[in-house]
Amino acid sequence: MKVTKKIVLEEHDMPTRWYNIVADMPNKPLPMLNPTTKQPTTKEEFEVLFSKGAAEQEFSTERWIDIPDEVRDLYRIYRPTPLVRASGLEKALDTPAKIYFKNESVSPVGSHKLNSAIPQAYYNKIQGIKHLTTETGAGQWGSALSIASKHFGLDLTVFMVKVSYEQKPYRKSVMHTYGATVIPSPSMTTGIGRQFNQDYPNTAGSLGMAISEAVEQALNQPDTRYALGSTMSHVCLHQTIIGEEARKQMEIAGDYPDIVIGCFGGGSNFAGISFPFMRDNLVNGAKTRFIAAEPASCPKLTRGQYAYDFGDAQGVTPLIPMYTLGHGFQPAAIHAGGLRYHGAGSYVSQLAHDGYIEGRDVNQLDAFKAGILFSQAEGIIPAPESTHAICVAIQEALKAKEEGTEKVILFNLSGHGLIDMASYDRYFAGDLNNYIVPQELIDENVNDLMKL
């Protein structure tokens, strides 16, 4: 029987609603807390920093939320994205498993991040906001929000983690091309940035630091709001268009996943591919496994603590119930810059705490090795972040081979690596290392949470 290589939906088959998993969660996440009063954060407080549209979605318990027509019109530029049968990878592994991947690398910015950037820019535009601030790790989110902001006539300032600013110059070039101002973080632009530079003069930066700077600028500049690329519930909501499309495509393929995998930083692309399928586990008692593939250098799900913590390094955001390594944790300078975040989103954390999600850590060299095998088998060079999901998919496919079982594996190819070739060059030169976080460093950081 001939295998269909890719399944592409028609534009009219694109989902019209995002899926809000909280409606089906047996245990709802604990509320975010005001950092000063330690009382539950209100929607009105949230609106001081985020758009009203984002705030409404962050606090919504409705199962389905309509996608605005103007957002869907822009989605049509690249959506629906293909579901691809990884037949070349299956052959290379000689596995009986069926491997599928959702190819989010086909977006104009080369990653899934545009799925949330478009609606966030839209909600700010219709509110009358003129300026946005944000952070970015590897640059995918900054690139996505740059083009979305330009479309809706918004000015954007991006605080880019310093190590990625230096490692990935073309990400910076993309953001400049789309009209954004890009500042390496920690910077001398904000008070918090200057303090970070004083306290940690040789720091490579972190997403937590960049968030602190972006939040400070948003709060101190008129007609300005902050936009976040991961972690928050409204961001995960927007990304569920990935999994909702994949459900339709898997049905056309005549398969249903036994295992769903996504790389994991704060949780947006993992939630996007997994939450629509997890609905069957929550509502219908399905037994699909969901694996979050995180870097061994930043292992919050596998070695972190489930506790209230700040979303930023300075401690100015609401306290979020999350798996965390401590907001003061500074990850090693790995090349998967989008996964260098100390915490997980509240929905993902609650679901992991309840046993619906497995965390698995992947070291940097294994991730690049898997990415190279995938690129040679399937022709797509993946982003360093996506190689973590690929590595776990390969592990599960080889396990199926050992067991002689025909598992169906689905993973999210969150982005391509064509702007990350310097990272691959360093791998080929033997200039990359594995970073395994010492347990005492994790303990030192998470013990500080007890003071909150």
Coil, helix or strand for 75? helix
pLDDT band at 451 (very low <50, low <70, confident <90, very high): low
The whole-number average pLDDT for the span 199-209 is: 89
Per-residue confidence (pLDDT) for residue 2, from 0 to 100: 63
Residue 153's region, left for phi above 0, alpha for psi from -120 to 50, else beta, is left
Averaged pLDDT score across all residues of the chain: 94
Structure letter (DSSP) for residue 343: B
For residues 274 and 260, the answer to whether their CB atoms sit within 8 Å is yes
Element (H, E) at 367: helix 364-378
Nearest to 271, CA basis, from 242, 306, 229? 242
pLDDT band at 452 (very low <50, low <70, confident <90, very high): low
Per-residue confidence (pLDDT) for residue 315, from 0 to 100: 86
Question: Residues 68-97, buried b or exposed e (16+ Cβ, 10 A)?
Answer: eeebbebbeeebbbbbbbbbbbbebbebeb
Coil, helix or strand for 128? coil
> Exposed, middle or buried by CB within 10 Å (0-12, 13-18, 19+), for 255?
middle
- List pLDDT tens digits, range 243-266: 999 999 999 999 999 999 999 999
Per-residue confidence (pLDDT) for residue 168, from 0 to 100: 83
Residue 404's region, left for phi above 0, alpha for psi from -120 to 50, else beta, is left
- List pLDDT tens digits, range 131-159: 999 999 888 999 999 999 999 999 999 99
What is the residue type of 361? D
Say whether pLDDT at 1 is over 60. Answer: no
Say whether pLDDT at 446 is over 80. Answer: no
Task: Tell me the C-alpha distance between 212 and 136, whole Å.
Answer: 12
What is the residue type of 28? K
Nearest to 213, CA basis, from 134, 110, 100? 134
Nearest to 214, CA basis, from 171, 178, 160, 177? 160
Task: Tell me the C-alpha distance between 383 and 110, whole Å.
Answer: 9
Structure letter (DSSP) for residue 104: G
Signed CA dihedral, 387, 393, 399, 400: sign only: negative
Per-residue confidence (pLDDT) for residue 243, from 0 to 100: 98
Helix/strand/coil percentages in the chain, nearest 5: 45, 20, 35
Residue 180's region, left for phi above 0, alpha for psi from -120 to 50, else beta, is beta
Nearest to 183, CA basis, from 148, 156, 147? 156
Task: Tell me the C-alpha distance between 164 and 160, whole Å.
Answer: 7
pLDDT band at 341 (very low <50, low <70, confident <90, very high): confident
For residues 338 and 385, the answer to whether their CB atoms sit within 8 Å is yes
Per-residue confidence (pLDDT) for residue 450, from 0 to 100: 64
Task: Tell me the C-alpha distance between 387 and 410, whole Å.
Answer: 14
Per-residue confidence (pLDDT) for residue 356, from 0 to 100: 97
Per-residue confidence (pLDDT) for residue 91, from 0 to 100: 98
Element (H, E) at 283: helix 268-284
Identify the residue with better confidence: 242 or 335: 242
Q: Give first-to-last CA distance, the chain, whole Å.
A: 60
Per-residue confidence (pLDDT) for residue 337, from 0 to 100: 66
Which residue's entry shows tokens 């953001």? 175
Which residue's entry shows tokens 């478009």? 118
Coil, helix or strand for 190? coil
Percent above pLDDT 90 for the chain: 83
Long-range contacts of 248-252 (CB under 8 A, 24+ apart): 248/9, 248/13, 249/7, 249/9, 249/80, 249/83, 249/102, 250/83, 250/100, 250/410, 252/7
Per-residue confidence (pLDDT) for residue 336, from 0 to 100: 66
Per-residue confidence (pLDDT) for residue 435, from 0 to 100: 82
Lowest mean pLDDT among 23-32, 160-169, 184-193, 343-352: 160-169
Strand ranges (E), 296-357: 305-310, 319-324
Say whether pLDDT at 272 is over 80. Answer: yes
- List pLDDT tens digits, range 63-121: 999 999 999 999 999 999 999 999 999 999 999 999 999 999 999 999 999 999 999 99
Nearest to 293, CA basis, from 210, 399, 205, 364? 364
For 25, phi then psi, to 5°, come to -75, 130
Per-residue confidence (pLDDT) for residue 126, from 0 to 100: 98
